[in-house]
Structure 1
């Protein structure tokens, strides 16, 4: 996940948490049980507080502009939320990579399959899986290797870097390819 996306997610969650905590504190302070236990310097809502009284609501109904504005604002909020949710659900896998010439593209799944086969051929690797993520400008390969019990992780990584990752970087150049490797071991 990119740094910008992570920052936006954390900011959105922080704003939502602050709004919910604030609303919960305001609503809780309106009840007798909570209000009586609050320190004297904390502002409190009266127990007879009416959030929307009939007279004020009638004045708002006299203005014809506020209903469409509220509905439009809520609609924009829902659309922004749905766009954010779609960005979170989207898998971010690389589908196609343009190679600089018109109508010449490299298939992301084909490159991932080729990298997987090359990684499986490395001595000491029991299982390999490669996922390509990102876009045409920033590629990230997530490589998961399951090593045999007697395999040397250092030798496997060295071979992976020299063969599989180097060939993939040559295939997608001049774009950079970042490789994240996760090694696990197979038990005897």
Structure 2
């Protein structure tokens, strides 16, 4: 379901971009008076083909302005549109947290392992590794195909290669086996902890 929703979002964003790009190109095409400059004989009904053309005619712009309901409806519609676009943008930017992992319990129905519990265990085991000062773990993806996002704060003496090797061989392997998963892909971000200098007197 998540993959289908992502595909639909990409298609809708692509269509919206194509419509806006095409409309802007037509307006720019007419605004620069390119049909006349290039001696193009466009049909009479072709939109925005001359520099004096406008997006909406005076009649279209003022048709309902005398009605008391017109401006409240316009303002409300624009406000709803802006809110919907902001909501859509935020849903594209944020990562969806996985609530649980579906574990094969052997009875044909399966059991749901809480995502926050797995995150907590993974973070605690990762922080116990030598060279890791702090660890934050987030589960994303699907219940049957989870994905780990981890951010590690490394101590100044830590070797990143060694930390990543132990994370893969120990913490991630333990989590994968406990959940009965064939694979548990992970994306790890590393940064170094900067300690404040202290004066010694």
* Residue matched to 1:130: 137
* Structure having the larger proportion of residues in helix: 1
Determine helix, strand or coil for the equivalent of 1:177: coil
Superposed displacement of residue 175, structure 1: 4.4
Q: 1:6 to 1:185 in 2, by over 3 A?
A: farther
Quote the Cα distance in structure 2 between the aligned partners of 1:92 and 1:3.
12
Superposed displacement of residue 105, structure 1: 2.1
TM-score, structure 1 as length reference: 0.66
* Residue matched to 2:149: 142
Determine helix, strand or coil for the equivalent of 1:143: strand
Quote the Cα distance in structure 1 between the aligned partners of 2:12 and 2:123.
37
* Residue matched to 1:178: 185
Deviations 1:83-103 (A, max 9, x none): x93853674211122322347
Identify which of 162, 171, 184 aligns with 1:164.
171
> RMSD of the alignment, in Å?
3.6
Preserved contact between residue 119 and residue 128 of structure 1 (Cα < 8 Å): yes
Quote the Cα distance in structure 2 between the aligned partners of 1:180 and 1:130.
10
Identify which of 97, 101, 116 aligns with 1:97.
101
Are 1:40 and 2:43 an aligned pair? no
- Number of aligned residue pairs: give it: 158
Identify which of 97, 112, 115 aligns with 1:108.
115
Preserved contact between residue 94 and residue 135 of structure 1 (Cα < 8 Å): yes
Q: 1:114 to 1:28 in 2, by over 3 A?
A: same
Superposed displacement of residue 48, structure 1: 7.2
Superposed displacement of residue 50, structure 1: 9.7
Q: 1:8 to 1:38 in 2, by over 3 A?
A: farther
Determine helix, strand or coil for the equivalent of 2:150: strand
Determine helix, strand or coil for the equivalent of 1:144: strand
Unaligned regions of 5+ residues in structure 1, if any?
Answer: 55-77
